[in-house]
Structure 1
């Protein structure tokens, strides 16, 4: 089944991009990424708009700290796979674009501070989103669609 997981980017700031994560048509949490750029800068660029696969990565270095921090639910880092020129892109906790390293940060709400977005109550959003993402992956609904900010017509578009 396609289209169960969507990230719709809604706003761009100096170095950050704010988005919404939807699972099965319902808003799940805010997503913070680095800026969308035409040229990839390692650790400073949002993933390109498109369709990707999600999977669980139980071997990445980050997995060790999340295994102890979220022991009751952790089954591996939720990884976005198949991104050109990107690897080890995870959903994880953090507040500022400087925390992303090209990954997707979860947030319960957001603020615009000094010209950039930040997300807050990230751990609470992660604890909400993580089991929902894992459940979709286990059901075989492992595709995520990433949409850039609105097109000239005002609707989100895949680039």
Structure 2
């Protein structure tokens, strides 16, 4: 399965994107500020630019793990349906524990990707319902043994 996040609005405090699954638009995304990081940069270069909790992950292509329980979110009620196993991006240089999850503003991201509907400036709405729909698609692919890749551009 191929997931793509196309960043379309780079603002001072947040980044809005469009998410596609196998070429089909599925939702909007919200990330921290895009500071021009790429996966081709060294970890030292990335860490020299990155502001912890305020910087979007580097552009690039990452494998998505669907089997790891999130230590931070695993016990929260909205994630009990998936037993706390949130989609986790693997090998994001200079970052650890990058997830796709629910949230509404850049304060909820801390480097992760929030999903929802960008119907209000600087926010995504209906995040829980959007996450649930996206998770189902990813979980079905994972159960079939498909690798899930995400490209951030």
TM range (shorter): 0.7 to 0.9
Name structure 2 gaps, 5 residues minimum: 37-48
The separation in 1 between residues aligned to 2:146 and 2:129, in whole angstroms, is 25
User: After superposition, what is the alpha-carbon deviation per residue over 1:44-84, rounded to whole angstroms, capped at 9, x for unaligned?
Assistant: 1001110111002215231111xx32433446111011100
Q: Are residues 1:129 and 2:134 paired?
A: yes
Once the two structures are TM-superposed, the CA of residue 122 in structure 1 deviates from its matched residue by 0.8
Aligned to 2:41: none
Aligned to 2:72: 61
Name structure 1 gaps, 5 residues minimum: 148-159
The separation in 1 between residues aligned to 2:151 and 2:120, in whole angstroms, is 25
TM-score scaled by structure 2? 0.83
Equivalent residues, number: 139
Give the aligned CA root-mean-square deviation in angstroms: 1.7
Q: Which has the higher strand share?
A: 1
TM-score scaled by structure 1? 0.80
Secondary structure at the residue paired with 2:58?
coil
